[in-house]
Each structure stands twice: as structure tokens, then as C-alpha cells.
């Protein structure tokens, strides 16, 4: 008589309509006799913890990104703690999410009911199965590695898992965002659109139970029903904590790709910082500095996306990858791109080597 649980990932650009969809599913769940809770990362993670757009400041961006990742890990730890013991107080955490957010998360957990495996839920008679529980995780989740962490959590605790990609053109997201009480900078959304990697079941077998919904106009009842079908499938087919070889290979592949891209990213950031510092020393005008920074960062973003695809290809075919060699070669390539960009901004005698 275990409680059936589904972790449902809602991914997409800011202002794509994820929160609206989550509330619609929340309401529809009541009609089906399900319990549900929406966990919004925007409510739990401070807005200044991470900015996907490059900024030119004294504080290294890697520092803020590390803080942002720790906040995300904190949210997942809270979700896991709930899966284990939802009636208990949330545990102390190293990277504190604000107290109001913790209270909301705890309230959501209490509304959801009692621990997995309990024979009774909210006074449900013991001869009746407890109602299913749907936990909607509302965030951008623009990299597969972010979503894979939720998948691993679902597998660890033998609960259902599904994904919903809320697709909306970046122009529409920017317009919607401007109507919000506290809008994000438009360039943050544009930058995230470049990085967005929607669920791809062909490349990632663990993303099989996924659906894409177009939110440019409005969510129809058909969309809600498609999502409910995906959730139902997840509830009826909880994941097994036992890994087969394919899943282990997938985990290793994701780890290798993340390692290569992360190391290359750090090295490329140093090259960009050095280029900007040298440009300042040559007293490049402010408007030219901004253009230079934009060109360098756009080049770096596209370069890392290409690098991710290039690393995935041999791994998909079962070939090995020497991380250090790949990173060193990639950095050399980006360094040449950087020099070509610099050449457009500085006279030949001042060009950065």
C-alpha cells in the first residue's frame, strides 16, 4: 500500500509559462484524486545567486556559479529529505535558502502527506491505497545534467519520473518577462536560450518519458491531458534503483562531458578576462569594451556548445575520451578565436597575443 510518487521536471526559458502550467496541473490533480505540490526554484533560490549572462566584475563568476549550484543541490536535498520523512522538520543546510522559502517548501511537504510506504495518508482507510503524489519541479533545467540529477533521485527512491519541456520563442519570453513585477534582464533570457538543451530521448534514454508543450499562445485542455498521461505513466512505472549497464554508461558519459566542458569553460573564462584586462590597459573606449565583451562571450558560449556536441559523439559510439588532451586542444582553438576577435578592436601594434 505504498504511496505512488512522481517527480515531474518542468523545464524551459524564463517566462515560457512553466508556473502557469504547474498551477493548471495542480488544479487538475485534485479532480483526479491526486495530491500535488509545486516546488518553484525561483522562490527558493535567491535571484542574485546566479546570472547566466556574463558580467564584468571583480568577483569571479565561477564563485557565483558555485553558489548557485549549491543552492540547487540544497533544493534537491530538501526534496530527498521529504521523500524519506515528509513529516519531519527540514534539516540544517550549509547554503541557506531564505527562511520564507524554507517555510513554503516545508508547507508543501506537509500538504503532501506522510512518508512513502505508509499504509495510511491523511486519514485514508487502511484498506484503500493512498492517493498518488505528484511533485512538480519548476525551473529552467536548461542542461541535461541538471535534469539527470532529478532522475537519479527518482531512481534512488524508486519513484516515477517524467519531464515537460515548455517551448516558447525567445521573443515571446522576453515580452512576457517585461510585464512581470520584477523582470529579468532581457539578455539573461537570450543567453539562456542559446544554452537550452531540450529533452532528447534519442540521445539520452533516461529522457524517454518526456513531452514538449508549445506555450506561445495558451495551454489547452489537450495539453493538460497530454501532460497528465505522461505523469500517469510515471506513476505506474516507478524507476528501479538497480542500474543496468546502459544506465551506468549514460552516467559515465554525462560525467565525462560535464568534466570536459567545465574545465574548458574555466580556461576560456581566464582567456576572456585576460583579453578584457589588456583591452582596458590600452584604454579601449567603454562602448568598444562592451562590444568586445559581448563578442568574446558569445564566441565562448557557441564554442562550448560545439565542444559538448563533439565530446558526446565519440562517447555515444562507445569510444573513450582523454579529458586533459581534449580540454587542452579545445582551449587552443578558442584562444585563436579570441585573437581573431581582438584583432577587430585593437591596432596591429596593440593586439593581444
Mean pLDDT of the 262-287 span: 87
Q: What are the boundaries of each domain within the chain? A: 5-236, 246-350
Cα 319 to Cα 302: distance, rounded to the nearest angstrom: 24
pLDDT digits (tens, 9 = 90+) for 213-260: 988 777 778 888 888 899 999 999 999 886 556 666 666 777 777 778
| pLDDT at residue 66, as a whole number | 58
Interstrand relation of 5-11 and 133-138 (parallel, antiparallel or unpaired): parallel
Distances (CA, A) of 219 to 7, 26, 204, 213, 306: 21, 14, 27, 8, 33
Find residue 162's DSSP bridge partners. Answer: 8
Q: How confident is the model at residue 124 (pLDDT cuts 50, 70, 90)?
A: very low
* Mean pLDDT (the chain, rounded): 77
171 has a pLDDT exceeding 90: yes
The pLDDT value given to residue 255: 73
pLDDT on residue 86? 54
- Which CATH number describes the domain made up of 5-236? 3.40.50.300
**Which range is least confidently modeled, 81-90, 190-199, 289-298?**
81-90
Largest CA-CA distance found in the chain, in angstroms, rounded: 84
Is the pLDDT assigned to residue 58 strictly greater than 60?
A: no
Cβ partners under 8 Å of residue 158, min gap 6: 238, 239, 240, 241
CA distance 47 to 163: 24
Write down the pLDDT at residue 30: 81
| CA atoms of 293 and 299, how far apart (whole Å) | 10
pLDDT: is 150 or 215 the higher one? 150
Amino acid at each position: 500500500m505504498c504511496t505512488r510518487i512522481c517527480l515531474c521536471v518542468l523545464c524551459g526559458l524564463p517566462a515560457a509559462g512553466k508556473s502557469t502550467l504547474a498551477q493548471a496541473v495542480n488544479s487538475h490533480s485534485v479532480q483526479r484524486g491526486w495530491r500535488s505540490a509545486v516546488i518553484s526554484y525561483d522562490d527558493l533560490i535567491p535571484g542574485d545567486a546566479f546570472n547566466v549572462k556574463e558580467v564584468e566584475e571583480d568577483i569571479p563568476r565561477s564563485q557565483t556559479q558555485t553558489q548557485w549550484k549549491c543552492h540547487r543541490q540544497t533544493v534537491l536535498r530538501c526534496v530527498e529529505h521529504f521523500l524519506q520523512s515528509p513529516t519531519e522538520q527540514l534539516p540544517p543546510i550549509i547554503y541557506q535558502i531564505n527562511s520564507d522559502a524554507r517555510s513554503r517548501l516545508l508547507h508543501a511537504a506537509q500538504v503532501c502527506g506522510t512518508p512513502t510506504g505508509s499504509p495510511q495518508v491523511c486519514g485514508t482507510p487502511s484498506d484503500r491505497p493512498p492517493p498518488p503524489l505528484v511533485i512538480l519541479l519548476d525551473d529552467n533545467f536548461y542542461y541535461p545534467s541538471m535534469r539527470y540529477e532529478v532522475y537519479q533521485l527518482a531512481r534512488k527512491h524508486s519513484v516515477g519520473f517524467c519531464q515537460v519541456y515548455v517551448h516558447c520563442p525567445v521573443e515571446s519570453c522576453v515580452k512576457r518577462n517585461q510585464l512581470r513585477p520584477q523582470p529579468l534582464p532581457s539578455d539573461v533570457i537570450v543567453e539562456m536560450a542559446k544554452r537550452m538543451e531540450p529533452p532528447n530521448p534519442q540521445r539520452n534514454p533516461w529522457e524517454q518519458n518526456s513531452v514538449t508543450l508549445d506555450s506561445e499562445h495558451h495551454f489547452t485542455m489537450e495539453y493538460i491531458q497530454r501532460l497528465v498521461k505522461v505523469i500517469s505513466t510515471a506513476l505506474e512505472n516507478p524507476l528501479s534503483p538497480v542500474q543496468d549497464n546502459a544506465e551506468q554508461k549514460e552516467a559515465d558519459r554525462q560525467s565525462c562531458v560535464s568534466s570536459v566542458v567545465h574545465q574548458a569553460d574555466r580556461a576560456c573564462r581566464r582567456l576572456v578576462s585576460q583579453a578584457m584586462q589588456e583591452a582596458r590597459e590600452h584604454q579601449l573606449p567603454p562602448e568598444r569594451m562592451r562590444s568586445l565583451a559581448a563578442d568574446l562571450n558569445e564566441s565562448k558560449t557557441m564554442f562550448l556548445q560545439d565542444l559538448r556536441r563533439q565530446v558526446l559523439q565519440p562517447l555515444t559510439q562507445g569510444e573513450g575520451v582523454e579529458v586533459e588532451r581534449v580540454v587542452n586542444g579545445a582551449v587552443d582553438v578558442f584562444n585563436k578565436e579570441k585573437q581573431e576577435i581582438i584583432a577587430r578592436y585593437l591596432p596591429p601594434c596593440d593586439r593581444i597575443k
